[in-house]
């Protein structure tokens, strides 16, 4: 009777070799068989890849050992295929995919080992049999199902052909080889399989030019920073630990801008925009667009001091800060120079992390000499229905708004405050009507025009009643 025998053993293994999804030489010399034994992933050998990606814990992986066979007289084969038992567990092995004579005998036996870190597969044809493995591409010699029991390491995990796996029946280690006729031959090449985990998307700071940068305000942004208080921060991003910086800042009308070699003591000492990295190299920082205060008459610089990030580094006496708020050239504006360590403490300005929220160091705080006047919404005083005219309807609408919360066309108390006394009462509609019918005084600005309240009083105007 023709008989075919197969056995499978789950065995222990040593540390796996470095990962490689490339074909590798496995034999040299006259005893080699010019064939390639491959691990492929899928349920069918044809077109199946040697590597899969985006595999996560809890997944099932279907693998097979495949051969593009060009040798006519293969009577048997064996191989060891090891895996990492901390990541993978064999759940099923199928040897039924081969087209072999019906009277071949096949059997799979588990080996002792817990957890089982590899499989040994061997097929041996009955010596009486004249059958051999068919000459054909994409032959699946065995199909194996793995359960993924832990997260795949960053470098991936491998299914690797080896010669040193020992079956559980006490037989010697099983070599990777083929029986061709009556001779034993080793495949010239093998192609291991690699399983990669889920793709890791490394999110970085998305602000352009954020490796080395100065910013007005406390965030890394390419947008203008509107200064709305009497003091405002200046921030920095530095991709590596840094030792110091210098900058020139110029006021142009109502706006401050970073300027390179424009502001300084004199023509020979104009200050550069520099961040000095930990290696002592000058890095040129990018700067965001000019940042506006919108208060040209109220933004003279009173003081420039260390920001919160630098104040937290070491002792003040171990660092150096020089500020000039009355530069000789390029002003009005200021210059600043800072060195974190002038006494050998080893202090550095830590690198800012390259993560999506783009953290910054607050390095300076600029204080102005008066409160910033923030512009309000433009409106036209007394035009209570917003039609661009002043008539009896405006007196009616103003009174209805103030006393009955009725006929409210615009959320703008400034518009209703006809006499600009910061109080909404009967005097406001009366002043409108007296101007119309009794030659009364004109309403305070902005009257019969669309503009901001020049007095900047305490009333609000959320919705304008006019167009500038």
CATH number reported for the structural domain that contains residue 420 in this entry: 1.10.1330.10
pLDDT surpasses 50 at 1: no
Average pLDDT over residues 302-306: 92
Q: Which of 368, 391, 423 is the last residue of a domain?
A: 368
Output 392 or 297, whichever has higher pLDDT: 392
Q: Do residues 359 and 389 both lie within one domain?
A: no
Distance of alpha carbon 331 from the chain centroid: 40
Q: Do residues 75 and 184 both lie within one domain?
A: yes
Q: Do residues 13 and 139 both lie within one domain?
A: yes
Q: Which of 368, 402, 430 is the last residue of a domain?
A: 368
pLDDT surpasses 70 at 431: yes
Average pLDDT over residues 215-219: 89
List, for residues 146-175, the tens digit of each pLDDT value: 999 999 998 899 999 998 887 767 778 888
Residue ranges of the alpha helices (H) in 347-467? 392-404, 413-416, 427-437
Range of the domain at 137: 4-197
Q: Do residues 98 and 231 both lie within one domain?
A: no
pLDDT of residue 454: 80
Eight-class DSSP state of 419:
T
Instruction: Determine the Cα–Cα distance for residues 384 and 7; give it in Å rounded to an integer.
Output: 95
Residue 168 lies in a domain: yes
Residue 243 lies in a domain: yes
Q: Do residues 20 and 71 both lie within one domain?
A: yes
Residue 381 lies in a domain: yes
pLDDT of residue 12: 33
- The fraction of the chain above a pLDDT of 70, given in percent, is 84
Instruction: Determine the Cα–Cα distance for residues 412 and 394; give it in Å rounded to an integer.
Output: 14
Q: Do residues 252 and 337 both lie within one domain?
A: yes
Q: Are strands 51-55 and 193-197 parallel, antiparallel or unpaired?
A: parallel
- The fraction of the chain above a pLDDT of 90, given in percent, is 49
Domain count, the chain: 3
Q: Do residues 251 and 157 both lie within one domain?
A: no
* Residue for token pair 């995990």: 157
pLDDT surpasses 80 at 219: yes
Residue 203 lies in a domain: no
pLDDT surpasses 60 at 236: yes
Q: Do residues 386 and 329 both lie within one domain?
A: no
Averaged pLDDT of the chain: 83
Distance of alpha carbon 464 from the chain centroid: 41
């Amino acid at each position: 009777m023709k008989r075919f025998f197969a056995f499978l053993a789950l065995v222990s293994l040593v540390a796996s070799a470095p990962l490689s999804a490339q074909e590798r030489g496995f034999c040299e010399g006259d005893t080699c068989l010019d064939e390639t034994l491959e691990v492929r992933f899928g349920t069918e050998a044809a077109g199946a890849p040697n590597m899969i990606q985006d595999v996560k814990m809890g997944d099932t992986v279907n693998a097979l050992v495949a051969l593009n066979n060009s040798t006519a007289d293969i009577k048997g084969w064996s191989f060891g295929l090891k895996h990492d038992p901390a990541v993978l567990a064999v759940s099923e092995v199928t040897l039924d995919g081969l087209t072999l004579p019906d009277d071949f005998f096949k059997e799979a036996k588990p080996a002792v080992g817990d957890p089982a870190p590899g499989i040994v597969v061997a097929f041996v044809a009955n010596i009486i049999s004249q059958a051999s493995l068919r000459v054909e591409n994409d032959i699946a010699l065995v199909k194996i199902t793995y359960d993924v029991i832990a997260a795949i390491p960053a470098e991936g995990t491998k299914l690797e052909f080896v010669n040193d796996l020992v079956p559980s029946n006490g037989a010697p280690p099983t070599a990777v080889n083929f029986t061709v006729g009556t001779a034993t031959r080793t495949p010239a090449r093998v192609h291991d399989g690699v399983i990669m985990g889920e793709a890791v998307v490394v999110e970085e700071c998305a602000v352009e030019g954020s490796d080395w940068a100065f910013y007005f305000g406390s965030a890394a942004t390419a947008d203008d920073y509107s200064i709305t208080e009497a003091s405002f921060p200046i921030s920095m991003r530095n991709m590596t630990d840094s030792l110091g910086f210098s900058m020139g800042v110029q006021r142009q009308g109502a706006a401050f801008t970073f300027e390179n070699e424009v502001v300084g003591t004199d023509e020979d000492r104009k200050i550069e925009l520099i961040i000095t990295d930990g290696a002592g190299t000058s890095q040129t920082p990018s700067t965001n667009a000019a940042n506006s205060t919108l208060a040209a008459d109220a933004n003279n610089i009173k003081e420039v001091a260390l920001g919160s990030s630098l104040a937290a580094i070491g002792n003040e006496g171990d660092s150096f800060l020089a500020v000039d708020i009355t530069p000789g050239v390029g002003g009005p504006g200021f210059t600043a120079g800072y060195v974190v360590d002038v006494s050998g403490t080893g202090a550095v300005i830590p690198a800012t992390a390259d993560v999506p929220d783009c953290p910054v160091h607050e390095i300076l705080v600029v204080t102005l000499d008066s409160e910033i006047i923030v512009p309000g919404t433009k409106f036209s005083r007394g035009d209570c229905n917003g039609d661009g005219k002043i008539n009896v309807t405006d007196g009616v609408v103003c009174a209805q708004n103030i006393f009955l919360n009725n006929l409210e066309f615009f959320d703008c108390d400034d518009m209703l405050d006809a006499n600009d006394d910061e109080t909404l009462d009967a005097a406001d509609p009366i002043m409108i009507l007296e101007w119309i019918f009794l030659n009364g005084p004109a309403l305070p600005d902005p009257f019969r025009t669309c503009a901001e309240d020049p007095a900047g009083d305490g009333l609000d105007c959320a919705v304008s009643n006019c167009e500038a």
